[in-house]
Structures are given as structure tokens and as C-alpha cells.
Structure 1
Amino acid sequence: MTTNHESRSPSGRPSTGPSGAPGPSRITLRSPAELADALPYMLGFHPTDSLVMVAVHGEGGRFGGRLRVGIPTAHTEWEDTARQVAECLVRGSERRGDKPDGIVVFLCQDPRGAESGQRVMTRLRPLAQRLRVACGALDVPVLEALCLSGGRYWSYTCAESGCCPAEGTPLAAPGTSVMAAAATFAGLQVRGSLKEIEGRLMPTRGGAWAVEQEDALGRAAAALVPKILDGATREQVGAQTITLAKTLMRRLALAAPAEGGRRADDRDDALLGHDEAAAVILGLQDREIRDIAAEWMEAEEAAPALRLWRALARRCVGAYGEHAAAPLTLAGWVSWSSGDEPTARIAFGLALRADAEYRFAQLLHHACNEGIDPEGLRQCLREERERREPRRKRPGAVTRPPGRPSAPRSRRTARRAEGSGQ
């Protein structure tokens, strides 16, 4: 089987060879061991507690679309999940013009407590079987099904006696395999584990810190929401939110992030006050304010904006978890616009977990998964910024287009009234 990686420039556009045509790098995988080793490079991160399916096309076994979902904890959900993910991957490939000739399945889950990797493999075997049946019902065979657990892998499809040891086969140490060298040469990057990436986008602190932040959000909601819903003061709130967000971005930019994920996040968290963060989080619940913030997706604005959106998402604690949809979607948008599609997909998925009806996240998640070039949206945002800024009366003000209806009475009502504009 082969996987093609199309290298991209920092702008996110495909890099080209001397002839001007994109130059994909091809990596050939010949065994279950190489498939297992290749999975993090195909996704861009180490999947944890994940069901991953990869479409395979043609006689040479070219990899196509891929899909990742969490493994349902309830066994009663396995059959429906298997059917849904199989249909999603196959139908999605057909929409792009090429039905898969086969599918490779990965079940990734580390042992819990005293459980062994072998026990995990045995426990997940019924799920693997349901996936094989669901794919077969769509006339697409499962070519290989692997369980990855505790640093080892097992094949569910191997029927040769004595081929696969009961205790599993050790995975290669990270970065030491031929696949790792080839992937590095091809420009494929692994950005840590799924758990680590999600941890940078979700509240992790408890105790007094979370209580103080939730209290600040309550004060901000009491002060700002009535003004956002009032057409006479909505523009004023927008100006204040944008100005404060830019102030926080400058503060983050002047303080270089510490080395490492969690350590860097702790540094950024310490630079934001509870009331400051709450004011921006509440302001971003307005669609127009959020759309202006989405313009900070490139050049020197992108890095501090991403740090700010991550920090704000981590502060959507307690009863304000749904409010994380806005900063999570903005974090996903900046990541996608900067060429980091794996992190973007994770951020969009978390945004939809916070608010399944959040239309902006729905649209960007779909576009990212379909491989649409974000440059079209970037250009629209540039043009809107150029149109709006010369007419602004003061820095950070929000100007509404003529004919926009007055703000509805509640956030849910506002979402329904705005429809596909969210």
C-alpha cells in the first residue's frame, strides 16, 4: 500500500517542482508493522481511544480518505457506530469520485488500570468484527484491521497459525523506523497525541481557579449580554471586545511562549485576567464580533491569535462550556489557515462537542474534511477587512451592513434567526 503526501508551502498552497506541478512524495507500506507505524503520520498525531478507518484505492493500494472517531464506551453502540462510520467513509469517497477498493481499520486504546494490551485487543474484537461486516455490506472489504495498545499491535485479519504472537508485536520506538525517516523527508509531522492536543484546548484546572473564572463569566454575562442583544449598544460592545482582544494578543506576542505545550499554556494563562478573558469570551458569542476576530488568521497576527483562542477556550468552565464553541472554532480556523489541518479538525470537533448546532464550526469542519483550500475564505475575510476598516470611526468598532435585522432576544433565538450565517 502507498500513501501520497503533497508537501505544502508556509502559505498552505501545494509546493511545486521545476515544471510547476505539485510534487507528491510516495511512501510504500508492505506489512502490518509498517501500517501501524505509519498511522500517526497519516493523521498528524498519535490517536488515543480512537477508531480510525483509511480508504484504499487501486491495485497499488493508494490511501485516500480517512476518518477518526472516539471508541464508544457502551458496547450497545458498537453496531450503529460501525454502520455509520463505514457509510460515512465510503459515501464520502464516492462524492469525491472514487469508491474505495478496500479499507484499513485501526482500533487504538491503551490499557486501563491493570488491564493488559492483549485484554484490550480481545475486548475490542467484536467491534472490529462489526466494522468488517458493515464495510462488507457496502461491497468494500476490510483489508487489514489492527489493534494498537500498550506499545504493541495485533492483527484481527491474520488467519495464519503462529504468525502473530498472543502478546502482540512491539511497535517501533517513535522516530526510529524507516517509516519515520521517510515521513520526515516527505514533510509529514506528528504533533503529539490526540490527548495532548485536546488538553491544550479544554479546561484542565479545577478548584479556586475555575470558580473565579466562572464567577467572572457570570459578571460579564450580566453586563454584556443585554448590550449585545440591544441594537443601540451592540456596536459599542463590539468595539470594546475587539480592542480588548487586540490588547491581549499584543501582551501574548510580547511574552514569548515557554518551551513545550502545557508549560507554554500555563504561561499564557497567567498573562490573562479572569475578567479580561470573560469579557472577550462573552463578546465572541456575537456572530459579527467573531467574524472580525476570524480575520486574524495570517502574518504576524496568527500566532498570538491562536494562543489567545486556546487560552479562552480553556477558560470556558462550568456552566459556560457551550461558550467554548466560538474560541475553539477560531483556534481551528487559524490552525487550518496556517496549514495545520490535524489540529484544526480536532478543534472543530471539540467546538461541535461544546455546541453541536454551532454553524460556523459545522461549515469549517466539513470544508476541512473535504480538502477544500482555505484560501477562498481567507480572501473573503481580507476583502471584508479592507472594506470595513476605512469607514471605522475608531479602532475596533463593529460596523453592521445596512438592512441587518435587529438582534434577537436570546442566543438560541439569534442562532435560529441567523441560520446559515453562523
Structure 2
Amino acid sequence: MTKNHEPSASTGPYDGPRITLRSPAELADALPYMIGFHPTDSLVMVAVHGAGGRFGGRLRLGLPAGPAEWDDTARQVADCLVHGSERRGGKPDGIVLFLCQDPPDGESPQRVMTRLRPFAQRIRLACGALDVPVLEALCISGGRYWSYCCPDPRCCPAEGNPLAAPGTSVMAAAATYAGLRVRGSLKDIESRLVPLRGRVAEEQLRALDRAAATLMPRILGEATRKETGEETLALARALMRRLDLAPPAEAGPAGDGWDDALLGHDEAAALILGLQDREIRDIAAEWMEDDEAAPALRLWRALARRCAGAYREHAAAPLTLAGWVSWSTGDEPTARIALALALRADGDYRFAQLLHRACNEGIDPEGLRRCLREERRRREPRRKRVAARPPGRRSRAGRRGARRTAGSGQ
């Protein structure tokens, strides 16, 4: 598996409503509800437990670039889902596999299915080597689906079967009743987090170069690092207030252009570089709930979109913060995508690695929220005491130090 294909898996037990799926058609229709979005260019695997076929862990991965990566990818995804499920609740009794890719220019959906068939077979063999059978393997392309497991042309013809129209199936009705939400397509979600292009990106790149020349020596300098960090946090709070006071007219991706217009290039550059200080990033991670969460998420998304050109690796910090706020506020599908993009930007970014693993393993984020709340309580009273001290009045230790300095003749 290459660095550009970070798995996004959830290996905890599935706690959603119980809905019985009896056919490949119903499985294909259920896929977006199981992972929270319409996957594109994706491999999706779902663990199945028990005689009743209860769904467990889910894993999503971008499709490998070509056949040279298929063997390694098949082994790694099988190992990830099976062993992750064992750690969280028991070895799966089976796996359901989906390969999803819309046809590239000049290729038919049926050709996509044929091209991906050997990859599906490699995954089936890798799962079988771990004593977990693939119960069903589906290819979804161009609004149709095919089964790699069913040989019966009466139910699985060579030309495939059409997917149910969105919102018209029994599964869609049951999911709506149960409150399950599909957050658009994978491309829709990623488009809110990937760098902008064109003239805006060129202007942002120049601003980042200017900020790097000014700020990086200060961030790396022992005497100026703390002051620069405080300026970064003050700027972040000011931009969050600005975003909060000016909500976009439309929610979702349509509102991102509004947020981009509210953020100056130099402001974005200063904040992107300031967040490379991990102590400052950890303080920013405290804005993960209540009234702070929504403007913080808008800000982190906007900053991720500004990490242009050579600064794409810097996107790991705002992407990780966006993933954390999404996870903290209950949007696990978006969190997994944001954290996978953070690891794509910087595969060694430790905070993203830890959050990605915890989110995928179904760990409750409340434990981390408690730690961040406690850290904030310890830090903020001290800051308030210092701010409340009358101007010109030094602490007792400060007065003693001044007397010593005066007495030494320095």
C-alpha cells in the first residue's frame, strides 16, 4: 500500500439500527448508509459477525494506482480489518467487499468491472488466508453493480443491474427513519479540504513565502517562540469570531467560497505557519465543542484549502484539527476522510496517526475531550490572573529580581 492510500476503517461494532439485507441489490444500496457517504474510487470492506450476519467494522481505502500495488494492498486491507476486528470484539465470520469507481473517459462501466476483477480476487484470497471468507464482492460503477461471487445470469447479468434511484428504496426509507445520514460523495467531502487552485493559490503561495521569511525564525527562536505562539492563537480566535459573525448563506460546500473570501492571504499564511508549532496546535484542539466547534471547523477547512504548492505538507495541522472537530461533534465519516488526507500530506504526523487509529477503532472521543478540558482549566486561570494584575505592578518575585539587579550594578 502506498503512502497516498491511507486506510479509513472503523473496526468497532456497528451500533446502528438492525436492517436485514438479502441480496446484492440491497447491499449495493446500503453501502452509502454504512459508511456515511457515497464512496468514489474506493475499496470498501465490511466485517460480518454471527449467524445472523451482523455488520461490524468497516474499512475504506482509495483504489491503488495500478496492478503493481494490488497484492500488497490486498494483504494489508485484509490484515487491517480482520485483526482490527479481533482487537475490538472478535474475528469476523465473513466480509463483504465493494469496489467503487466511476468510468474514466472512454471506458464503460462494464470494462471497469472487468479490469478490477483480478483485484477483487486477490482480496478474496488474502481474506481466505486469514480464514475469513468474502461472502459477497460487488463492483459499483456508472450507476450499476455487478457481483464477482454470483455466477447466475438471471440475477447478475453480464451487463450488470441498475442501482436504485437515491431515496427510493426500502433501505433509504429505513435509514431516514433511523436518522442515518449520507454526507454526499467522497469527492464532495474531499473538495472542501484540498488546496485551492488558480490565481488564488498563486497569491496564497506568495503570502506563505512572505510569512515563512518573517515567522519561521521567530518560531524557531527560543526567545520569540512563546510570543509568536500567543499571536497565532489571538489571530485564530479573531478569525473564528469573524466567521461566527458572518455565517454563509448556504450550508455545505456552497458556503466554502464565502469563508475563503473572509480570510486574507496574509492572515491565512500566518496561521498556517503558526500551527506548525505543536504546542499551539494542541491548544487550538481545545476548540472542539459547544459554540467554538462550528467556527473552528470552518477555519481549519479554510486553512487546509490555502496550503498551496510547496506548503501542501503544512496542511497536516489544519486537516488534523478539522478531523478532530468533526469526530468530536459526531461526524465520523468526515473525520476519517480529513485525517486520511492529513496523513496523505504528512504520513509521519503523529497527532493525525493517533486520531485516525482511535476514530477507526471506535474509541469514544470523550476521553480526549476530558483531557483537553482539564488542560484548558489548568492553563486559563493562570492567564486570567496575569491579565488581571494592575498595570505597572510586578509580582513579588519580579520585585525581588529587580532589587537584585539594581544591587549588582548591572
Corresponding position of 1:290? 281
Corresponding position of 1:261? 252
Corresponding position of 1:138? 130
Corresponding position of 1:102? 94
Cα-to-partner distance string for 1:80-101 (whole Å, 9 max, x where unaligned): 1111111111111111231111
The separation in 1 between residues aligned to 2:229 and 2:275, in whole angstroms, is 9
Q: Does residue 249 of structure 1 match 2:240?
A: yes
Kept in 1, the 8 Å contact 2:150–2:156? The answer is yes
| CA drift at 1:261 | 3.0
Q: Moved runs in structure 1, 4+ residues, more than 3 A?
A: 3-6
| CA drift at 1:5 | 5.6
Q: Does residue 122 of structure 1 match 2:106?
A: no
Corresponding position of 2:169? 177
The separation in 2 between residues aligned to 1:73 and 1:260, in whole angstroms, is 33
Select 2:369's aligned residue among 378, 396, 399: 378
Kept in 2, the 8 Å contact 1:144–1:156? The answer is yes
Corresponding position of 1:215? 206
The separation in 2 between residues aligned to 1:91 and 1:358, in whole angstroms, is 24
**SS of alignment partner, residue 223 of structure 2:** helix
The separation in 2 between residues aligned to 1:292 and 1:193, in whole angstroms, is 32
**CA RMSD for the aligned pairs?**
1.4
Select 2:326's aligned residue among 312, 331, 335: 335
> Number of aligned pairs?
375
Alignment of 1:15-30 (within 5 A): 25-30=17-22
- What are structure 2's unaligned runs of at least 5 residues? 1-11, 389-410
Kept in 1, the 8 Å contact 2:145–2:161? The answer is yes
Q: Does residue 71 of structure 1 match 2:49?
A: no
Corresponding position of 2:40? 48
The separation in 2 between residues aligned to 1:132 and 1:292, in whole angstroms, is 45
The separation in 1 between residues aligned to 2:89 and 2:329, in whole angstroms, is 28
**SS of alignment partner, residue 242 of structure 1:** helix
Corresponding position of 2:73? 81
Q: Does residue 157 of structure 1 match 2:149?
A: yes
Corresponding position of 1:236? 227
Moved more, 162-171 or 321-330: 162-171
The separation in 2 between residues aligned to 1:164 and 1:34, in whole angstroms, is 13
Corresponding position of 2:402? none
**SS of alignment partner, residue 231 of structure 1:** coil
The separation in 1 between residues aligned to 2:13 and 2:69, in whole angstroms, is 34
**SS of alignment partner, residue 28 of structure 1:** coil
**SS of alignment partner, residue 105 of structure 1:** strand
Q: Given residue 267 of structure 2, which amino acid in structure 1 is its aligned partner?
A: E
Q: Which has the higher contact order (CA 8 A, sep 6+)?
A: 2
The separation in 2 between residues aligned to 1:30 and 1:247, in whole angstroms, is 53
Corresponding position of 2:400? none
| CA drift at 1:25 | 2.1
The separation in 2 between residues aligned to 1:161 and 1:323, in whole angstroms, is 51
The separation in 1 between residues aligned to 2:325 and 2:239, in whole angstroms, is 17
Kept in 1, the 8 Å contact 2:48–2:92? The answer is yes
Corresponding position of 1:361? 352
**SS of alignment partner, residue 373 of structure 1:** coil
Aligned CA distance change for structure 1 residues 149 and 372 (closer, same or farther; 3 Å): same
- What are structure 1's unaligned runs of at least 5 residues? 7-23, 396-422
| CA drift at 1:260 | 4.3
Q: Does residue 272 of structure 1 match 2:263?
A: yes
**TM-score (norm. length: structure 1):** 0.87
The separation in 2 between residues aligned to 1:230 and 1:57, in whole angstroms, is 55
Q: Given residue 277 of structure 1, which amino acid in structure 2 is its aligned partner?
A: A
Kept in 1, the 8 Å contact 2:117–2:148? The answer is yes
Percent same amino acid at aligned positions? Answer: 78
Alignment of 1:367-406 (within 5 A): 367-392=358-383, 393-394=386-387
The separation in 2 between residues aligned to 1:291 and 1:168, in whole angstroms, is 50
Kept in 1, the 8 Å contact 2:13–2:362? The answer is no
Aligned CA distance change for structure 1 residues 315 and 151 (closer, same or farther; 3 Å): same
Corresponding position of 1:203? 195
Corresponding position of 2:31? 39
| CA drift at 1:167 | 1.5
Corresponding position of 2:401? none
Cα-to-partner distance string for 1:10-66 (whole Å, 9 max, x where unaligned): xxxxxxxxxxxxxx5211111111100000000000000000111101000001011
Q: Given residue 283 of structure 2, which amino acid in structure 1 is its aligned partner?
A: I
**SS of alignment partner, residue 173 of structure 1:** coil
The separation in 2 between residues aligned to 1:362 and 1:326, in whole angstroms, is 12
**TM-score (norm. length: structure 2):** 0.89
